[in-house]
Structure 1
Amino acid sequence: MSDRITVEALDLDLLDTDGAIREADAGVAGDTRADFFKKAAVGGGTLIGGGVLLSGLAAPALAKPSKKQDVAILNYALTLEYLEAAFYVEAVSKGAISGDALSAATVVRDHELAHVKFLKAALGKAAVKKPKFDFKNTTGDQATFLATAVALEDTGVAAYAGQGPRLLQKPVVVAALSIHSVEARHAAHFRTLAGMSFAPKAFDKAKTMKQVLKVVDGTGFITG
């Protein structure tokens, strides 16, 4: 039996059997990027990363789960996946990491790219565009790379956990959970490579969108 790790893409047609995701997409697809951000600003959006309104991805904050909110959460997830994918692409291409760290980064890069591809397909015209990134010197040496990978993956796990209860449609919940569990595997593996406990607690705390955006803001990775 081969132990080769493969990347399996989620099938939107299997997840969205009743067209619920596509239907919700159609309801917001007419919004321009500027309109989307404007709505978020009215709902309490925060400027981060050199003026990028990342929390615009939350769209109007709604008290109850809705199809439109599902789309907003998927866009929030997509932006986090853009960030992670770009980080690993740069880390692998730069050539400053090696051994198990390089092997892990290569596999995780492919996973994150698959997540991006799936979320963009699910969102269709409603998908936000890829931001510009500057990872500074975090991919320039192995120790800094591993520390950053742990931080990003831990944040990603907490982000998905935080949005789960806010989702309405079962297909969206299934998609989010299928990504969330893989992000947790990434976090555990990078923690081990960094000499940290792979599972320091029996229970993890979820993070709200505001908490996650504060963490992302602190990195300064999103520049435009």
Structure 2
Amino acid sequence: MTFLHRESQVDLTDVVAFDVDGALQETAEEARRQSRRMFLRRSGGAALGGAALVAGMGSSTAMAATPKGDVAIANFALTLEYLESAFYASALKHAGLTGEHKRLARTVHQHEAAHVAALKKMLGSAAVKRPSFDFGSAVTSQSAFTATAIKLEDTGVEAYQGQAPFIKSQAVFKAALSIHPVEARHAAWIRNIGGMAPAPAAFNPALTKSQVLAAVGATGFIKA
């Protein structure tokens, strides 16, 4: 797996594993050990996202009853949704997108922004703050945008898939299942635009926590 990073590419073929129990503590420790991981201190768990998380979980009482691991999942999800929303917003401004590329970016940005709003509403005061981003050369051309978007969307799909078995709350689990196919559709759409097979295999691999954390950290997109 390769992400475009500024003027070069980062090889992430062997990085991408999720456990939920103790996720906040694990990611805080990793953030202290490794550079460009400051965001992990604030995000703590595995990837997830989507507007449906709000349903039945909007009150502080409901959040207090939510397992800590699931709160960690939601906060890491929020960080990733911040990342994706910011990426598409930046690409719309700087990548010179036209035609179907521009239509995709507008649509997916709206989806990711809705995920951000929903997660923030659900988490309330427990929500992590938006990091700062620098997408470098990944948003300075249509071809660079396409390659990066494919990797981001593929990673998101595989992260949902890898984390779903560890979610304890029915509300969060149902939310994850409602968002996962949307992310898969994003991935298929951008793959098709980029001339890649939208559904390349009969079975899809799942990503683990450590792989996702390494993949996102290695991009250098999240600065602090």
TM-score in terms of structure 2 length: 0.75
C-alpha change, 1:101 and 1:48, in structure 2 (3 Å) is farther
Counterparts of 1:159 and 1:81 in 2: how far apart (Å)?
13
CA deviation profile, 1:97-150 (whole Å, cap 9, x unmatched): 111000000000000000111111111111111111100011111111000000
Q: Select the structure with the greater relative contact order (CA < 8 A; seq sep ≥ 6).
A: 2
Counterparts of 1:180 and 1:118 in 2: how far apart (Å)?
15
Question: Is the deviation greater in 161-170 or in 187-196?
Answer: 161-170
Local SS of the residue matching 1:184:
helix
For structure 1, list consecutive stretches of 5 or more residues without a partner in the other structure. Answer: 1-35, 60-65
For 1:50, the equivalent position in structure 2 comes to 36
C-alpha change, 1:123 and 1:197, in structure 2 (3 Å) is same
Matched pairs, number: 181
Counterparts of 2:122 and 2:222 in 1: how far apart (Å)?
23
For structure 2, list consecutive stretches of 5 or more residues without a partner in the other structure. Answer: 1-22, 46-65
Counterparts of 1:49 and 1:190 in 2: how far apart (Å)?
31
Q: CA RMSD in A?
A: 2.0
Counterparts of 1:117 and 1:170 in 2: how far apart (Å)?
21
Larger radius of gyration: 1
User: Contact (CA 8 Å) 2:30, 2:37: kept in 1 or not?
Assistant: no
For 1:147, the equivalent position in structure 2 comes to 147
User: Contact (CA 8 Å) 2:39, 2:222: kept in 1 or not?
Assistant: no
Counterparts of 1:189 and 1:45 in 2: how far apart (Å)?
34
Local SS of the residue matching 1:75:
helix
Counterparts of 1:55 and 1:180 in 2: how far apart (Å)?
25
Runs of 4+ in 1 over 2 A off after TM superposition: 39-42, 44-51, 55-59
Counterparts of 2:190 and 2:147 in 1: how far apart (Å)?
8
For 1:70, the equivalent position in structure 2 comes to 70
For 1:106, the equivalent position in structure 2 comes to 106
**How far does residue 94 in structure 1 lie from its aligned partner after superposition?**
2.1
For 2:84, the equivalent position in structure 1 comes to 84
